[in-house]
Amino acid sequence: MNISIVIPLLNEDESLPELTSWIERVMKENDFSYEVIFVDDGSTDNSWKVIESQSAANPAIKGIKFRRNYGKSAALNVAFEAALGDVVITMDADLQDSPDEIPELYKMITVDGFDLVSGWKKKRYDPLSKTIPTKLFNWATRRASGINNLHDFNCGLKAYKKEVVKNIEVYGEMHRYIPVIAKWAGFTKIEEKVVQHRERKYGTTKFGLSRFIYGFLDLMSITFVSKFGKRPMHVFGFLGTISFFLGGSISLYLIIEKVYKSVNAIPTRDVTDKPLFYLALVAMIIGTQLFLAGFLGELISRSSANRNHYQIDKRI
């Protein structure tokens, strides 16, 4: 099968018939063998009934329905597991992504040899309250990930080599960082394609400003886990050692100073009367806690079922 088209959705019953018809036309014009996997993320409208009717008319249309709303990451992860196509293309169900982009995306994967191609909605039809935070979010992600050639990490229109989606896990709200996850899984051939951004035709957006706050927290989380997930002692132990050493050094200095002044009959306060002593004590306590956190993290990591799970590219 050439292409699997993955479409997560929530309450998009109005747009689904038009989107399905559009995809079918593009697939037929380019003679692609394909499947469309709709993932109904707990819709409360008639989205699932529409998917059922579309599937009855065209066996290439498939559907997965969640009992409740789990989020876009969960929908993508389940669909990636089910996808059979050599190239997997994700897009949103609100008609803001154009299926006419699919042939070029497919070519960039199969002919140009990229592992992942991410869309860039260079000209957007969004208010400033959305575009400005998006630019800031993408800038921070580029700096943290080192993927400097992407301008729109969160674009729903992306194309993947099959091996990519079968070797990554998307959870929580990590769908925003799939290029980052793919890079850290060893898929480094990542490119960008300028795509058309269409105005929303039906319904309303499902995302608020809170997603940008969660987005930065997720970025910190995925950066830390990817770098130190298998070696937590390297960060916690290092910081704990520095903190404990700093606090211990200050305490030792205060004690030596007290002994020196006492021997030489120089007036001085007790060590415990000095605020610096308590700051040093706090630093030593924090250092001990950080070291123990690293030690416990190592124990958990060593007990993990995938502690020796590595991405293997080829065998001979």
Residue-wise pLDDT tens digits, 38-66: 999 999 999 999 999 999 999 999 999 99
What average pLDDT does range 266-275 have in this prediction?
82
Please give the Cα distance from 195 to 92 (Å, whole number): 13
Q: How many whole angstroms from its chain centre is CA 3? A: 23
**Residue 141 vs residue 133, higher pLDDT:** 141
What's residue 127's pLDDT?
A: 62
CA dihedral over 187, 192, 195, 197, signed as positive or negative: positive
CA dihedral over 117, 127, 16, 169, signed as positive or negative: positive
Write out pLDDT tens, residues 175-206: 888 998 899 888 999 999 999 877 766 666 65
What's residue 9's pLDDT?
A: 94
Residue 313 pLDDT greater than 70, yes or no: no
Write out pLDDT tens, residues 62-120: 999 999 999 899 999 999 999 999 999 999 998 989 999 999 999 999 999 999 999 99
- Using the structure block, give the residue that is written with the tokens 């993508």: 76
Residues 6+ apart with CB under 8 A from 159: 87, 88, 89, 105, 106, 108, 109, 116, 117
| Whole-number average pLDDT of the chain | 86
Please give the Cα distance from 261 to 251 (Å, whole number): 16
pTM of the model: 0.74
Sheet holding 190-194, edge to edge: 61-65, 34-40, 3-9, 87-90, 158-161, 116-120, 190-194
Residues 6+ apart with CB under 8 A from 154: 134, 137, 138, 175, 176, 215
What's residue 283's pLDDT?
A: 94
Contact 151, 118 (CB under 8 A): no
- 16-29 vs 102-110: helix crossing angle, rounded to 10: 50
Per-residue DSSP letter, 29: H
Beta partners for 117? 159, 191
**Residue 60 vs residue 316, higher pLDDT:** 60
In one letter, which amino acid is 259?
Answer: V
Write out pLDDT tens, residues 141-179: 888 788 888 988 888 999 999 999 999 988 877 888 899
Please give the Cα distance from 50 to 63 (Å, whole number): 10
**Residue 71 vs residue 315, higher pLDDT:** 71
